Structure 1
Amino acid sequence: MIWAIGDLHFDSTGEKPMDVFGSKWENHEEKIISHWKEVVASDDLVLLPGDISWALKLKESEEDLKKIDSLPGKKIISKGNHDYWWSSLSKLKAMELSTIEFLHNNSYVYKDVGIYGTRGWISKDTQGFNEKDETIYLRELNRLKNSLESNKEVSKKIVMIHYPPFNQDLVPNEFAEVMSEYGVDICIYGHLHSEGHKFVVEGVIGGVEYRCVSSDYVDFKLQEIII
C-alpha cells in the first residue's frame, strides 16, 4: 500500500510549537506517529512531500529523521520551503538512514509505480512575485522535468510536490501542465494550513488526480493513495 502525509513539522528542539497556528495542532507529532503505527505495514510506502523538520542544519535534523526512519514502511522525502536542513543528495545519503530515500532530480520505483517530485514554488500571480522568484520557479520546474525524465519505464506515476501546482485563482500552473504532459496519474501536495485551506484544489484535472495531504488538512492522518 502507498500512504502520504505532508508538513510533519517535527521539532526535536521544542522551539517551534505548531499550536500557535491553532489548538488543532496540539500534540500533532504524537497524533501523526500514533496513526502511522496503526495503519502502515513494514512493506508499505509512505510519501512525505516536504516541511519535514524545523531543523536549520543537517546535523540538527538527525533526531527527527531517525524518528521517521524507525517508523514502519519505506519513506520517500521531498523538500519543503521550511526544510532548511536539506543538503546535497550525497550528504543526505551519507546519513545512512535505512528506510528513507530523498527525491532530488531523481525518482524512485515502488513495484510498478514511479515516484517523482520536487519542491515547487509560489505561483506567478502571487503578490510580490519578482525576478528572484522567477528564477527559483523555473529551476524547480526543471527539477520536476529531470525527475520525470529519470525513469519512464513504469506503468503508473505519482508526483509529490510541496507547493500547490495551482495559481492563486486555483487554475493549474506550469507544474500541473508538465505533469499532464508526462502522463502523471496522481499528484500529492501540501503547504496549505488553516486559512490557506481555501486554496486547496482536488480531483482530476488534465488527466491528473490531485490530493492535498497537508497534515492539518487531513487531520494528521496518513492518506491511502490508491493507484
Structure 2
Amino acid sequence: MNIYSMSDLHLSFATRPDPDQWNAILYKPMSDLDQKWLNHPRKIYDNWCSTVTEKDLVLVPGDISWAMRLDQVHCDMNFLGILPGNIIAVQGNHDYWWQSISKTRAVAPGNVLLVQNDSVQVGDLALCGSRGWLCPNGAYFSDDDLKIYNRELIRMENSLKSAAGAGEIIAMMHYMPTNEKHEYSGFIELFQKYGVKTVVYGHLHARACRYRLPDVQWGIRFYLVSADYLDFMPRLILAR
C-alpha cells in the first residue's frame, strides 16, 4: 500500500462526470482563473489512474468541490467514486457544501472517508487532520480570525487524541500550519506533542507557493500538495 496526496481538486461538474465525456458543463471552471487549470479534471483522472492502485490511499486536504450546498456536490462525489484507491479528506476553506459531518458523510461514495474531530486508522498508521486556518502574526490575520484559529486547534487535537496508540501519524491540513513567515504556531506545538512527523497541506497556488514551508522543519516533514503545484499528479508520501 502506497500513500499519496493531492489537495485543491476544485471540482465543479454540473452533470454526472463520465471519463469519456470531459466537456461536461462546469459551474466554476478553474481555467477562468488560470489557464494551467484548463481541463484539469481530465489531468487529475489520467494521472491518478496511472499512479494509484486500488490498494493505495490518497490524502486530500481540502477544497474538493466548488459546490455551495450538499445537493450540488453529488456529481463531484461521483467523480471521486470512479477513482482507484481509498480517499481520506479534510475540509477546505471553499468546501461550503461540507455541513454537519453525518450529512456530509452520507453523500460520500464508498471509497471516500471524511475526517473531522476523529481519525482513520490503517494498521498502525493513523490519518488525522483538520481544515486549519490563518495563523497569528500573519499578514492577513485579524482579531476575527482568532476564534476560528482556536476552534481549528481544538479540532486538530481531537483528531490527534483519537489516534492514541498509533505507531505513526500523518496529519492533513488545508491551510499551511504556520503564517507566511514560518513562525512557530499552535498547530506545530500539537504536532510535536503527539509525535507527528509528516504533514500534508494545500491552499497555496501560483505565486503564493513561494511561501511554502521548508521540506523539514522542527523535525517534521512538510508536503505542499496543491493540485496545480503538483501538475495534477498525486504526490507519493509514504510507501509501505
Structure 1, 89-98 or 157-166: larger mean CA deviation: 89-98
The AA in structure 2 aligned to 1:152 is A
TM-score normalised by length of structure 1: 0.96
**1:12 corresponds to which residue?**
13
Q: CA deviation at 1:59?
A: 1.3
Distance 1:222 1:192 in 2: 16
**1:223 corresponds to which residue?**
235
The answer for unaligned runs of 5 or more in structure 1 is none
Structure 1, 212-221 or 96-105: larger mean CA deviation: 96-105
Distance 1:51 1:114 in 2: 22
TM-score normalised by length of structure 2: 0.91
1:2 aligns with 2:14: no
Distance 1:23 1:175 in 2: 34
Aligned-residue sequence identity (percent) comes to 38
State whether residues 80 and 109 of structure 2, in contact with CA within 8 Å, keep that contact through their aligned partners in structure 1: no
State whether residues 138 and 181 of structure 2, in contact with CA within 8 Å, keep that contact through their aligned partners in structure 1: no
Alignment of 1:6-155 (within 5 A): 6-13=7-14, 14-95=26-107, 97-155=109-167
Distance 1:96 1:45 in 2: 16
Distance 1:191 1:34 in 2: 22
User: Aligned pair count?
Assistant: 227
State whether residues 63 and 94 of structure 2, in contact with CA within 8 Å, keep that contact through their aligned partners in structure 1: yes
Distance 1:212 1:130 in 2: 24
Distance 1:167 1:93 in 2: 31
**2:186 corresponds to which residue?**
174
Distance 2:220 2:167 in 1: 14
- Runs of 4 or more above 3 Å deviation: none
Secondary structure of residue in 1 paired with 2:191: helix
State whether residues 129 and 173 of structure 2, in contact with CA within 8 Å, keep that contact through their aligned partners in structure 1: yes
1:204 aligns with 2:216: yes
Q: CA deviation at 1:128?
A: 4.7
State whether residues 118 and 162 of structure 1, in contact with CA within 8 Å, keep that contact through their aligned partners in structure 2: yes
Distance 2:182 2:51 in 1: 32
Give per-residue Cα distances to partners, 1:167-214, cap 9 Å, x unaligned: 121224221221112100200000000011111113222221100001
State whether residues 69 and 97 of structure 2, in contact with CA within 8 Å, keep that contact through their aligned partners in structure 1: yes
Secondary structure of residue in 1 paired with 2:75: helix
The AA in structure 2 aligned to 1:6 is S
Distance 2:123 2:236 in 1: 16
The AA in structure 2 aligned to 1:105 is N
Change (3 A) 1:170 1:20: farther
Give per-residue Cα distances to partners, 1:126-169, cap 9 Å, x unaligned: 34533321000000011000000012111111000000011121
Give per-residue Cα distances to partners, 1:36-85, cap 9 Å, x unaligned: 11111111111000000000001111110121022111111100000000
